[in-house]
Amino acid sequence: MNTQTDTAVSSPASSMSTAVILAAGRGTRMKSERPKVMHPLAGQPMLRYLIDNAAQVFDRIVVVVGPGMEDVAALAAPHAVVVQHDRLGTGHAARQAEEAFGTGDVAVLYGDNPLITSGTMRALLERKRRDDTALALLAMEPADPGRYGRVVMQGDQVTRIVEWADANDQERAIGLCNAGVLCASAGDFRRWLSEIRNDNAQGEYYLGDVVACAVADGGRVRAVVAPEDELRGINSRAELAMAEACVQARLRQAVMAAGTTLIAPDTVFLCVDTVLEPDTVVHPHVVFGPGVHIRRGTEIHAFSHVEGAVVGPDASIGPYARLRPGSDVGEGARVGNFVEIKATTLGAGAKASHLTYLGNATVGSGANIGAGTITCNYDGVFKHQTEIGADSFIGSDSVLVAPVRVGDGVITAAGSVITQDVPDGAMAFGRARQSNRDGYAQAFRQKLKNKKEQG
């Protein structure tokens, strides 16, 4: 049953290569109501990595989902989606996509093995197409083989896969481990899938049994060895954290190679779409959420959090700054320590140096926002806009109650509450009147002491 693109399943082109991605797992060990393949890595669902890389290698992609996984199907669009209504194992899941195989080569991938690169996928497909290979599989040589299935070789050919539980001591000493990803011609795959049985403790059809079918057929089975970090399966929160570390290492290396300085790389966290232009400098303990573009020459100081924002060039952020979605910081502008901005534009050279909140605001070029300033942008129902003109000076501890416009070149006195528009060049005072009572402080303190003595 194809839930999205019926034509792709019913009329496949004979020479097209196909990637089938198995994504029907519920991820019981994740202890989550969210489908396993929807858990994010560097701000992006893990399934998206596999789809994007497979799209660079294969002509067609088919994603196998479970019932009720509309969010997974939507993420897979516009690729074809089929539903595995009964979860009877990985072999059964692959059979659900048989109509989409065509007559070209087919690779079966796993949605919870998201870090396989396009280069490794291409090597797998090329291995299948060389030397009369009937079946190609991905294998790895992990530092700790643990309970992985072992790949038994004779020369350059795979003779069998033995599961750890069934292996003897000699077989467990083998360092080459099975990653489970297979590639064969569509016709062979269909035949072998029809031959596998579910006479095991779980009563499931295992895709890995295809290897034994290929060997029994007399076909050549060959392994492509890939790095362990690419072939990590994700079945638990701990394994998700390990995969996140792998993705972050890749992203950090990429931005440094492109000209960004990360002073303490292991403490900086990036999203897959983070853009850091050359000559940016990122200090320790900085987190980038989705949708960030940092322009050339900008410096992000320690303990800052940036999400959904465009910054620079030559701007300065932090330390301890928070930029929320919709923020646009202009050339040479400064967002200092303990400053939060949201849906706010800072013009070139504008400064909010410390202890400030700017929400739904436009700040003109060269403006200076004093410490403790806030824009009151929310009335409990609607968000309102504050406009601060170019070269204005907003005194410390000012409160700007939106909607309000402060013109160009304005000064607001420290401690003012601004509720009305201020024209260009004016100085605004919004303070309550101060009165001083001479000598009253000592009498007031004595009064309080008397009350305390009286209980």
| pLDDT greater than 50 at residue 5 | no
Token pair belonging to 134:
């009937």
Closest by CA to 360, choosing from 325, 324, 384, is: 384
The verdict on whether residue 324 carries a ligand-binding annotation is yes
384 annotated active-site: no
| pLDDT greater than 50 at residue 4 | no
The verdict on whether residue 368 carries a ligand-binding annotation is yes
Q: What is the pLDDT of residues 252-304, one digit of tens each?
A: 999 999 999 999 999 999 999 999 999 999 999 999 999 999 999 999 999 99
Q: How many CB atoms lie within 10 A of CB 4?
A: 17
Cβ atoms of 208 and 198 within 8 Å: the answer is no
Task: Catalytic residue, from 79, 301, 305, 354: name it.
Answer: 354
Please give the pLDDT value at position 3. Answer: 38
The verdict on whether residue 371 carries a ligand-binding annotation is yes
Cβ atoms of 90 and 57 within 8 Å: the answer is no
- Terminal alpha carbon distance of the chain: 80
| pLDDT greater than 90 at residue 28 | no
Q: Which of 13-27, 265-279, 355-369, 424-438 has the lowest mean pLDDT?
A: 13-27
The verdict on whether residue 112 carries a ligand-binding annotation is yes
The verdict on whether residue 449 carries a ligand-binding annotation is no
Q: Which of 2-11, 117-126, 258-267, 307-316 has the lowest mean pLDDT?
A: 2-11
Q: What is the pLDDT of residues 242-254, one digit of tens each?
A: 999 999 999 999 9
The verdict on whether residue 80 carries a ligand-binding annotation is no
Q: What is the pLDDT of residues 188-215, one digit of tens each?
A: 999 999 999 988 777 888 898 999 999 9
- Average pLDDT estimate for 42-55: 96
Phi (first) and psi of residue 169, to 5 degrees = -60, -40
Q: What percent of the chain has pLDDT over 90?
A: 80
Q: Which of 24-38, 301-315, 389-403 has the lowest mean pLDDT?
A: 24-38
Please give the pLDDT value at position 120. Answer: 97
pTM: predicted TM-score of the whole model, two decimal places:
0.86
23 contacts: CB under 8 Å, gap ≥ 6: 35, 37, 47, 63, 64, 65, 69, 72, 76, 111, 112
Angle between helices 118-128 and 46-55 (to 10 degrees): 50
Cβ atoms of 89 and 108 within 8 Å: the answer is no
State the alpha helices, DSSP H only, in 103-209.
118-128, 169-172, 186-195
Please give the pLDDT value at position 223. Answer: 95
The verdict on whether residue 33 carries a ligand-binding annotation is no
Closest by CA to 373, choosing from 388, 391, 383, 384, is: 388
74 contacts: CB under 8 Å, gap ≥ 6: none
Token pair belonging to 216:
């029994």
Q: What is the pLDDT of residues 110-154, one digit of tens each?
A: 999 999 999 999 999 999 998 889 999 999 999 888 888 899 999
Please give the pLDDT value at position 102. Answer: 85
Token pair belonging to 318:
């932090």
* Mean pLDDT for all residues in the chain: 92
Q: What is the pLDDT of residues 386-441, one digit of tens each?
A: 999 999 999 999 999 999 999 999 999 999 999 999 999 999 999 888 888 888 88
Over the Cα atoms of the chain, what is R_g? 31
Cα angle 249, 44, 83 (rounded to 5 degrees) comes to 125
- Average pLDDT estimate for 98-114: 93
Q: Report the 3 state secondary structure along 292-305.
A: CEECCCCEECCCCE
Token pair belonging to 394:
């907003």
| pLDDT greater than 90 at residue 373 | yes
All structural domains of the chain, each given as residue ranges with its CATH number in brackets, are: 6-231 (3.90.550.10), 237-428 (2.160.10.10)
Q: How many CB atoms lie within 10 A of CB 313?
A: 17
**Whole-angstrom Cα distance, residue 78 to residue 60?**
11
Residue 80: strand pairing partners: 62
Phi (first) and psi of residue 166, to 5 degrees = -100, -5
Cα angle 122, 260, 364 (rounded to 5 degrees) comes to 120
